[in-house]
A and B are shown apart, each in its own frame.
Chain A
């Protein structure tokens, strides 16, 4: 495993560099967009939703930002990861390189963007009067598991995308639906306990809720909550790896 990592580290670095360069090609602000666009999104949401939901909720901006932060990372990572295999068809049909590298490269980019926005998020927390506790260290748990969750979803999507290009349209509709179901700008407190439990089936909601619990409530989620998160990651990562393994030498028939 280590030998393999070493062997492919050079090509991986080059792929990451290439993807970065291509992403910010011909943009005036370059990488600043990665911070700017979620912030602008936040601003829009803040202005719009404060009128409906935010009244009477403490730290509504932070509440909103938690949701936005997690959700943008998820949607960026998976949306861009989807085309990673097709986009590199010219390479993997000619050279024998591990195909997951293309997805990882895209994921690195999304992760760096997420990191930048996370820094801004902490600044906002400070402004919003949030007290920082040692519990903030635990934020690494949802971050890492979301990272693996995104890789899993990316593997599944990029494989499916090779077979059916419809996937991109279906996925964009699905992410939109998921966004409304992730309680990004509203609170689920007024729903019945039954309904509230249904929200836990949404993996993205779990990450958002974890963030809010730590940052706003300063409480640590239960063990069950952790196990639920872990189960989601294991399932998607398992399916993704299985697909890549099964179709490893068959993708090239479809491109």
Chain B
């Protein structure tokens, strides 16, 4: 049975005048018919399904609709059309260091993040030391979060998230952070998780990483699904060719 299934998922995104305008501006523009809202399809008819233990890499240039698609899969947004079927628990790590609070300590932030990911307090109590060790932040335990470097922050985020055993794990540009040593460690950890049966979705601009890790691949361009399949090598090559043609 498929763990995650998307059938003809389309997402209409709205942007335009309604953002950052006040009440007066809003009324003025409404009255003078100057109020414009642009609608566009961030994703159009995306269809794929993933099985247990699959590792999906999503590629595509900026604005291809990758992050929006992840938000729909995570349940933060609703698809305008189509169906998303999830069979199991889901943990999403979108833009890692957001959602942390600079005034709280490392420990408090770890707990808050753990709570957001759906852990129990008991689980956090038991694993907090492990999390710190993995992130190499033992000495920073009670430091305010804002004193940490951005690399440290994402290390903590990854460590908290990687301990969970969700059925579906979503990672957005996660592995592009941290120094070389941590990168190797986190890649190893992810492989271990995949082996454990977690279905993972990874968005990355590093084709090298996708080639090394993924078992399936989805290529999006301007919201259109260009390709989906398990022939990672071939699709990566096509994508590379596409990129070099574009750059010419």
Contacts and interface: CB of A to CB of B under 8 A. Distances in A.
Interface of A: 7, 10-11, 13-15, 17-18, 21-22, 25, 90-97, 163-167, 170, 249, 252-254
Contacts of A7: 118
B103 A90 contact: no
Nearest to A94: B94
Given A21-B104, A166-B22, A94 B77 contact: no
B103 A22 contact: yes
Contacts of B19: 253-254
A25 B74 contact: no
A91 B78 CA distance: 17
B77 A249 contact: yes
B111 interface: yes
Interface residues of B, number: 35
Contacts of A92: 76
**Chain B CB within 10 Å, residue with most, of A92, A94, A252:** A94
Interface string B1-39: 000000000000111001100111010000000000000
Nearest to A170: B23
Contact of A166 (B18, B23, B116): B23
A93 B76 CA distance: 7
B98 interface: yes
A89 B18 CA distance: 17
B79 to A, nearest CB: 10
A95 B24 CA distance: 32
B121 A90 contact: no
A249 B12 CA distance: 12
Interface string B61-96: 000000000010011111000000000000010110
B95 A94 contact: yes
B99 A18 contact: no
Contacts of A96: 74-76, 92
A163 B25 CA distance: 12
Contacts of B94: 94-95
Closest 9 CB pairs of A and B: A11-B115, A166-B23, A96-B75, A249-B78, A94-B94, A10-B115, A91-B99, A95-B116, A14-B112
A18 B76 contact: no
Contacts of A249: 76-78
A254 B18 contact: yes
Contacts of A165: 22
Contacts of B78: 249
Contact of B98 (A10, A14, A94, A252): A94
Nearest to B96: A94
Contacts of A91: 98-99, 116
B119 interface: yes
Contacts of A17: 108
Contact of B99 (A94, A166, A167): A94
Interface in B33-65: none
A10 B125 CA distance: 12
B25 to A, nearest CB: 10
Contacts of A97: 116
A163 B37 CA distance: 14
A90 B124 CA distance: 22
Contacts of B240: none
Contact of B22 (A11, A22, A25, A164): A164
Given A14-B111, A94-B92, A22 B101 contact: yes
Contacts of B99: 90-91, 94-95
Contacts of A93: 71, 76
A254 B92 CA distance: 21
A184 B69 CA distance: 53
Contacts of A164: 22-23, 26
A10 B23 CA distance: 37
A99 to B, nearest CB: 11
A10 B121 contact: yes
15 contacts: A7-B118, A10-B121, A10-B124, A18-B101, A18-B104, A21-B104, A22-B101, A91-B98, A92-B76, A94-B94, A95-B76, A95-B94, A166-B24, A249-B76, A252-B77
Nearest to A8: B115
